[in-house]
Structure formats: structure tokens, C-alpha cells
């Protein structure tokens, strides 16, 4: 066993970074045995050096992250500061000065993953990022390595714990969106500004990463269709229950039936209660993978939090350190298929449309005619109402998003349609 320690620079010492440092200290002997050499925390870059950080030698703390990654004796840089800059510059600088990188930065990887992978290859370094998607759940490595010999056709998942907690609370208690959000905030599941979560930005970044790995093609954040869940109501849940469904904010990555393109999208969707993802409660994450040979696989667990995310970071750290000792690097970017990303208009799925209509003869016939004219086949219709007003719920067979959009635009022009109460996709069937 090698006695000279492998030196690790930690960029960021917040919720995740502090847990990484703690585990490195408390599990030092085990890590040494698993890697084949000791690992040493050689420096910690932070913004506020005066803050007391339990278990971390103050002599290791610095505000000069650039100088830390340029030292030359650093073997691995662990980046958990997030954001685009200075994280991007620090990662590329680390490669240039001989260090491999472990990152949890989903936003940066979704935006500039190709360039970062290219920089890692240029300098013969590793870039690992298991912690960027779904916290402690082993997902990146199974897709990138365990399923490398298979053909993945679909990845369907709950990849944001905050939104799952809110939707689960709305479903189980009948709470409204704001009430459920307030509870999530009080419990620490939601940030003071929850926009990144509830508007789907966080999930969209993860979807881009998952699609790129699953389909061996480059998918950037801008390629992902994104729709938040702030408009989901108690009435939507009532409609879902009538269909034997619940509602989840899903990240969906699919290969086209003909194999010639892929899609990546994030939006609320009704999902049957007998689907494995329907039972994912609270702030947990789960990802359902459909592969040609392996069949259906599900990965489940805590998707965020200091200790769970640090677990994924440390798993990558062990792998990268082993590669360092072996004088090799692990798998990098695989984008050989170069498949185009189709627009949302081409996506085919089922829809649940709730309309407010006049309660009089002929309304259903008018609505059905509009659907037929746009080539959208109706599966079921449910109508109720009194005193001249009615609610009409239409569930379609599978149809292209563009066709459904045209249908809804035409419905809004009917005098008998007072408004479109909600439109929701139905997935997982």
C-alpha cells in the first residue's frame, strides 16, 4: 500500500462540503483501505474564513480558491460551490495543474458538460459527478458503466425532493399549493426563493445530464422543455384520483421509436397509482430506467441533503483516487450517437384537459368536432354541471404536443367554452 497520501482540495464548505470533510476524517482508515493509499484534506476554499467549521483545521481554510487548485500537489479537487462561475474556471484550472475533479454542480454540467469533458481528456484527468443528480442514489455510474452494453430507451424520474414533498402533501392532505410550499419551507425542504425547484429549473438540469449519458449524445439545458408545477391545484388532484392517478413533477428523457432522435422534458404529469413512481413520498427521489436488455429498473432514495449528497461525492472520490494510483482514468463523455433533440411539439403522449363550458345541448359535439379536426383521438369524456355552467373533462389517446396545442387554441375560440381550467399530460402507462 502506498504511504504518501493523495491530497484533496475542497471547494466549498457548506451543507455538503462540511459533510464531505467530516466523512473524510471519521472514515479515514476505511477510505485508505478501499483506495490503497491515505487521502488527506489539503485545503478548503470558502467565502467566509471567520466562520467556525467543526473538525476542520483553520490552517487549511483559504479564500483563494484559484491558488489552491494551482498548487500542483493536489491530486483531486472536490467542487461543491455550485453555480457557473467561478466553478467553471476553477475546474478547468484544476485540470491544467494536474488534478482530477469530483463535482456536484448540475447547473454547470448541464450547460457546459461537453467543454469540461474535453478539458479533462486534454489533460488526462477524471471528471466525476454522481452527486449532481439525485443525491445519494447511484444513478450516473449505473447508466455510464453498468448499462454501457445495453440500449436505454427511456428515463423517467422524480429528481427534485422539494417539488415531490409539495405535491405529495397536496395529494395526501388536500392542501393547496401555497400551504404545502409554506410547510416545505418551514421544514427546510424549500429554499427562501424556491423558483429553481418549483419552476423546474433544477430538474431540467438533471434531465439534460441523464439524457446525455443514457443516449450517448449531447443534451444541453437549453434542449430541455421545462414547465413548473405552481399551477397545479387541488382540483387537478381530484381529477387524477378519478382516473386512478396521482401527480408528480417528472423528468422524462426518451429515445424516439425510430431511434433517430431524443427528447428531454420536465413538467407535472398524472401517473397511474400502480406505477412504481406513484408511491414515492415526501422529499425522496426515484428514477425509472427502461433498457432493451435489462428491462425496467428503478433507483430510489434521498435525493438531497448534506450527508446523502456527500455519500455520492465520496464514492466518486474513491473511484478517482483508485484511477490515480493505477495511472488511468475512468469513462469520460460518450456522445458518439450525435442524435438530434426533438422539440416538445413532436412529443407524443396522452392528455387530460379540463374545460369550463356552457351547460346546454350540443356543447360536447362541438368540442369533439374540434378534437377530430386536429387529429386528436378522444379516449374518455366526463361532464358535470348545473345552472347553465358545466365542467367537461376530456382524456385523449396518445397525440403529438403540437396537435394538442392547436386543439386547445381552437377550443378557446368556441363561444360555448368559457375557459380551459387545466391541461396535464398522462405518463407512465
Catalytic residues: 206
Torsion over CA of 298, 304, 155 and 126, rounded to 10 degrees?
Answer: -110
From the CB of residue 142, how many other CB atoms can be counted at a distance below 10 Å?
A: 18
From the CB of residue 7, how many other CB atoms can be counted at a distance below 10 Å?
A: 18
- Per the listing, cell 433533440 goes with 341
Q: How far apart are CA 97 and CA 99, in angstroms?
A: 6
262-272 vs 417-426, strand pairing mode: parallel
Q: How far is CA 63 from the centre of its chain?
A: 31
When computed from its CA atoms, the radius of gyration of the chain, rounded to whole angstroms, is 24
Q: How far apart are CA 80 and CA 91, in angstroms?
A: 11
Closest CA to 161 of 134, 181, 194: 134
What is the number of helices (H) and of strands (E) in the chain?
A: 14, 17
The answer to whether residues 154 and 289 touch, using CB atoms and an 8 Å cutoff, is yes
Amino acid at each position: 500500500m502506498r504511504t504518501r497520501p493523495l491530497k484533496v482540495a475542497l471547494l466549498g464548505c457548506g451543507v455538503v462540503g462540511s459533510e464531505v470533510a467530516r466523512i473524510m476524517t471519521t472514515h479515514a482508515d476505511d477510505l485508505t483501505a478501499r483506495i490503497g493509499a491515505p487521502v488527506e484534506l489539503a485545503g478548503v476554499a470558502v467565502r467566509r474564513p471567520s466562520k467556525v467549521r467543526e473538525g476542520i483545521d483553520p490552517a487549511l481554510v483559504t479564500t483563494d480558491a484559484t491558488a489552491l487548485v494551482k498548487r500542483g500537489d493536489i491530486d483531486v479537487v472536490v467542487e461543491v460551490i455550485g453555480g457557473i462561475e467561478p466553478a467553471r474556471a476553477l475546474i478547468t484550472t484544476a485540470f491544467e495543474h494536474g488534478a482530477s475533479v469530483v463535482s456536484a454542480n448540475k447547473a454547470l454540467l448541464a450547460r457546459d458538460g461537453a467543454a469540461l469533458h474535453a478539458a479533462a481528456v486534454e489533460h488526462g484527468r477524471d471528471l466525476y459527478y454522481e452527486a449532481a443528480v439525485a443525491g445519494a442514489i447511484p444513478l450516473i455510474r449505473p447508466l455510464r458503466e453498468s448499462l454501457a452494453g445495453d440500449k436505454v430507451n427511456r428515463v423517467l424520474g422524480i429528481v427534485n425532493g422539494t417539488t415531490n414533498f409539495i405535491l405529495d402533501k397536496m395529494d395526501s392532505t388536500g392542501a393547496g399549493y401555497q400551504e404545502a410550499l409554506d410547510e416545505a419551507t418551514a421544514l427546510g425542504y424549500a429554499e427562501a426563493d424556491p423558483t429553481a425547484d418549483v419552476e423546474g429549473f433544477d430538474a431540467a438540469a438533471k434531465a439534460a445530464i441523464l439524457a446525455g449519458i443514457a443516449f450517448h449524445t449531447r443534451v444541453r439545458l437549453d434542449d430541455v422543455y421545462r414547465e413548473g408545477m405552481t399551477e397545479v391545484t387541488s382540483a387537478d388532484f381530484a381529477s387524477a384520483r378519478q382516473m386512478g392517478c396521482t401527480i408528480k413533477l417528472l423528468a422524462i428523457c426518451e429515445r424516439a421509436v425510430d431511434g433517430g432522435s431524443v427528447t428531454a422534458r420536465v413538467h407535472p404529469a398524472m401517473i397511474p397509482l400502480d406505477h412504481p413512481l406513484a408511491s414515492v413520498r415526501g422529499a425522496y427521489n426515484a428514477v425509472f430506467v427502461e433498457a432493451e436488455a435489462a428491462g425496467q429498473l428503478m433507483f430510489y432514495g434521498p435525493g438531497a441533503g448534506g450527508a446523502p449528497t456527500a455519500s455520492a461525492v465520496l464514492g466518486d472520490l474513491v473511484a478517482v483516487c483508485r484511477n490515480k494510483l493505477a495511472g488511468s482514468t475512468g469513462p469520460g463523455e460518450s456522445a458518439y450517437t450525435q442524435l438530434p433533440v426533438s422539440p416538445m411539439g413532436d412529443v407524443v403522449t396522452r392528455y387530460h384537459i379540463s374545460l369550463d363550458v356552457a351547460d346546454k345541448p350540443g356543447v360536447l359535439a362541438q368540442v369533439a368536432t374540434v378534437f377530430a379536426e386536429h387529429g386528436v383521438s378522444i379516449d374518455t369524456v366526463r361532464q358535470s354541471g348545473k345552472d347553465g355552467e358545466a365542467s367537461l373533462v376530456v382524456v385523449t389517446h396518445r397525440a403529438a404536443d403540437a396537435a394538442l396545442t392547436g386543439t386547445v387554441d381552437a377550443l378557446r375560440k368556441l363561444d360555448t367554452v368559457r375557459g380551459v381550467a387545466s391541461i396535464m399530460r398522462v405518463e407512465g402507462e
